[in-house]
A and B are shown apart, each in its own frame.
Chain A
Amino acid sequence: MKFLRKLWAIPEAGIFVPLLVFTLVFFCLNQSFLEPNSVAAMLRAMTFVGIIAVGQTWLMIAGGIDLSVGSVAGLCAIVSSWLMKTQGLPVEAGLLAGLAVGFMAGLVNGLIVVRFGIPAFIATLGMLYVARGLNYLLCQGYPIYPIPDPLKDLGRAEPLGLSWAFVAFVLLAGIGDFALRRTVYGRMVYATGGNVEVARIAGINTAWVQIGCYMLTGAMAAVAGMLLMSQLNVGQPEIGVGWELDVIASVVIGGVSLFGGVGTVVGTFLGLLIMQVVRSGLVVTGVNTHWQTVAVGVIMVTAVGVDLLRRRTKIS
């Protein structure tokens, strides 16, 4: 009883408990659910959305939100593959250029939101369209392939039965979590999202904290987009379509407040896991796949509800 109460008091509990319950239920329904192959498949599936979710966690804690991440991921993949294939640039240059595009998109988002005061929702929704449009303009709507061999090999490799992309995700999530919780910069992010005025009085350059988080999110989108490109072995213009919804859903399920100032990368990781467990679980139990989408929606709203309940019981 006391143990349960303590568990309830941990911020991530609201999400950890349901994750455990879902996993057990699906395991009972179908033992193959927790076989190594199946687990590896689940982990690989959450890689790309997961990488971006790390950046989005920072951004939303700082009080912003970015709806353009999917489009930016697609644009970066196309820009780098176009530079490498059509313009014959070396691999490194192509990748760096892709990353730069991600940073730039984030910078533009950040400047528009912070300097011109256009609501983040609108500004980044605009970027969603702009990036997707540029993407199609550049590739004329056709996939760009083949991509250079080193990249192809990178995408094909299976370290530990997983992928390099997954390794990158784990690394980025680890660094992202540590930096957010334990560094001065992370503290400034929480302060800015908590109350901009208080942060400003403390001498924090809140404008650059927020713009920095937009740039980080843009860069993460670029990384995710290019990693998927290497795995697909083609600069697919549809890369990233609809990702923004999964990213935001998992961040919110993980306990990040839409108002900023609250949340952790660990929470987001659990959020990603729960979404993936439910999706894969419904597949192994043979339910119509469209139920997955329904389930994600229900879970997101429930998770936020449970979190609110947890906070309330803690207060009174």
Chain B
Amino acid sequence: MLNPDHSLNPAFALEMRGISKSFAGVRALSDVTVRVQQNHIHALIGENGAGKSTLMKILDGVYPAGTFEGQIFLRDRPVRLGSPFDARQQGIGYVPQEIGVIEGLTIAENIFVGRWNEEGGVIVDFQRLFTRAAELLDTMKIQLDPRVQVVTLNASQRQLVMIARALAARPSVLILDEATACLTLDETRNLFRVVRRLRGQALTTIFITHKMSELFEIADSATILRDGTVAAEFERAQFDEHEIVAAMVGRTIENYYPVRESAVSDREVFRVEELTVPHPHLAHRNVVDGVSFSLRRGEILGIGGLVGSGRSETVNALYGRLPHRGRIFVEGRETLVRNPREAKAHGLGLLTEDRKLDGLLFNFAIRENVTLHDLPQVSRLRVLDRAHETACAAHYLQQLSIRAPSVQTPVANLSGGNQQKVVLAKVLFPKPRVLFLDEPTKGVDVGAKNEIYKLMMGLAGQGIALVVISSELPELLALADRIVVLARGRIVDEFNKQEASEQRFMLAATGGANSHLSN
């Protein structure tokens, strides 16, 4: 108010100046300054553990004023954010990296959580609430029924609910912390359209992603964080993939997608015939319907498809987590997989889609999480061998470049991408024969992705068969020897690496959904 002219036309919509923050002696951010111009979509890029989420939590008041050094300015006005509530009052909308929906409530209640009525009042007017939610979802082009309970939604739908929740408050600054990590291509494009439209209506966005293509598609400017400091700043005109990646990881990456050197053997290790998974709530509907495929030793099979195509359900059923029909053969012998225990006994492994929900034990440190799937290997006469356990975990810490002070760091203290690497280490530890990987590189930075790809090639070289689900199409096309495309629970196309292309994939994935029209 001191300088009205200035606040009418501020230089920056947002400035975080000289921010430093430590956790129990470990420095996460030191002297970071980020400036974002009004109506810009500003990307925040950096390796796992670089400090992106920490910076955003400061901006959202999760880490309140006083627990960090530095200052925050909104439209050139210094603000003091003591809590997420303060941030909301200041017009900051935050979509955190970890999805935090309330499962027992409906979509509408989640979107307007805490503000269920427009004009206060004790009794919630549900009719009105559902209409408001429907309108909001409609403007975002999200096809979800606001009356549906969130517990029935999958990860990407939950993410959309979180985004809708942030937008419902009509923020002037929107923070998207890896919001696209579990969205499909279509949903991501849709989100970009919405954000672009709102940019025209004075919305400033901070956008965190590990996908370079998204950075090029949408960002107006970018700040690169590295080890808690600003490594570089770019305007859109100067964007250059090599420079950005180099600033981010401190080296250049050759062969981002490694080329397969080992040959796939002819021996079949796994086969499924007519896998059918009934819908959990609706009778006479199947989420997976007659899916059959076989895997050879050392083969990487990609499963592609849009949301609701039954990809995750397929691998979860094969791992014994969902009731299913169909025949499963491991090493040529027919086997029953009625629960995860039996699946594991047959040498199957599963990396689940949502690390927070069913990926990690947050009451444990890295070490205990890594060894959980094969306790006999780290014990003698049922007594755990701590030294051996530490050594095993330390091996993965190094191999997957997990950024943590030691293997005894609680996983709760790790950045999202580093948690993901721990989940990967966990499923690799028992040396499975067949490994189902549901979005294995979700939230992992480019450098580490490259490492993980090499690792996967290495595993395939050792004869382990991999089934990979990924919403990142280039990743899927580059890694998989063979791809099956699912739509509405059925296989609609199957092709080898040589025949693979984005067009063919998209055609199958979307065309398959209404193939009954063309037939």
Listed in ascending order, the chain A residues whose CB lies under 8 Å from chain B are 182-185, 187-188, 190-191, 193-195, 197-205, 261-262, 314-316
Q: Is the CB of B339 within 8 A of A183?
A: no
Q: Is B251 an interface residue (CB 8 A)?
A: no
Known A182-B383, A201-B321: A187·B368 in contact at CB below 8 Å: yes
The 4 closest A-B pairs by CB, nearest first: A261-B363, A203-B344, A194-B363, A197-B358
B63, A201: Cβ atoms closer than 8 Å: no
SS of A interface (majority)? helix
Is the CB–CB distance between B361 and A198 below 8 Å?
Answer: yes
Q: Would you give the shortest CB distance from B373 to chain A, in whole angstroms?
A: 5
> Nearest CB to that of A197 among chain B residues?
B358
**Secondary structure at chain B's binding surface: helix, strand, loop or mixed?**
mixed
12 contacts across the A-B interface (CB closer than 8 A): A190-B364, A191-B364, A195-B361, A195-B362, A198-B358, A200-B321, A201-B321, A201-B352, A202-B372, A203-B343, A204-B341, A315-B413
Within 8 A of A (CB), among B354-400: 357-364, 368, 372-373, 375-376, 379, 382-384, 386
Q: Does B67 contact A (CB under 8 A)?
A: yes
Given contacts A203-B341, A262-B363, contact A182 B384 (CB under 8 A): yes
Contact with A187, one of B339, B345, B384, B413 (Cβ below 8 angstroms): B384
Which one of B357, B373, B382 contacts A197 once the chains associate, using CB atoms below 8 Å?
A: B357
B379 touches A202 (CB 8 A): no
A132 → chain B closest CB, angstroms: 35
Residues in A with CB closer than 8 Å to B362 are 194-195
> Closest CB-CB distance, B372 to chain A, in whole Å?
5
Does chain A have a CB within 8 A of B206?
A: no
In the complex where A182-B384, A203-B341 touch, is A316 in contact with B67 (Cβ < 8 A)? Answer: yes
Give chain B residues whose Cβ lies under 8 Å from the Cβ of A203: 340-341, 343-345, 373
CB neighbours (8 Å) of A261 from chain B are 361, 363
Cβ B363 vs Cβ A201 within 8 A: no
Whether the pair B384, A314 counts as a contact (CB closer than 8 A) is: no
B361–A314 CB distance below 8 A: no
Min CB distance A97 to B, Å, is: 29
Partner of A314, one of B24, B63, B345, B379: B24
In angstroms, Cα B503 to Cα A233, docked, is 85
B72 within 8 A of A: no
Q: Provide the residues of chain A in CB contact with B357, threshold 8 Å.
A: 197
The minimal Cβ–Cβ distance linking B449 to chain A, given in whole angstroms, is: 24
Task: Find residues 304-346 in chain B having any chain A CB closer than 8 Å to their own CB.
Answer: 319, 321, 339-341, 343-345
Measured in the bound complex, the distance between the Cα atoms of B319 and A315 in whole Å is 35
Contact B361 A184 (CB under 8 A): no
Contact of A201 among B67, B345, B350 (CB under 8 A): B350
Chain B contacts of A190 at CB under 8 A?
A: 361, 363-364, 368
Contact B63 A316 (CB under 8 A): yes
Provide the residues of chain B in CB contact with A202, threshold 8 Å.
Answer: 340, 344, 372-373
Shortest A185–chain B CB gap in Å is: 7
Instruction: Encode contact with A along B441-465: 1 for CB under 8 Å, 0 otherwise.
Output: 0000000000000000000000000
Interchain CA distance A261-B358 in the complex, whole Å: 15
- Least CB distance, A128 to chain B, in whole angstroms: 29
Q: How far is the CA of A203 from the CA of B343 in the complex (A)?
A: 8
Complex contacts, B383 vs chain A, CB 8 Å: 182-184
- Seed contacts A182-B383, A198-B361, A200-B339; 10 additional CB < 8 Å A-B pairs: A183-B383, A184-B382, A190-B368, A193-B363, A194-B363, A199-B372, A200-B340, A202-B340, A202-B372, A316-B67
Does B358 lie within 8 Å of A201, measured CB to CB?
yes
A188 to B376, CA, bound (A): 12
Docked CA distance A314–B409 (Å): 12
- A184 & B344 in contact (Cβ 8 Å cutoff): no
Contact of B384 among A183, A201, A205 (CB under 8 A): A183
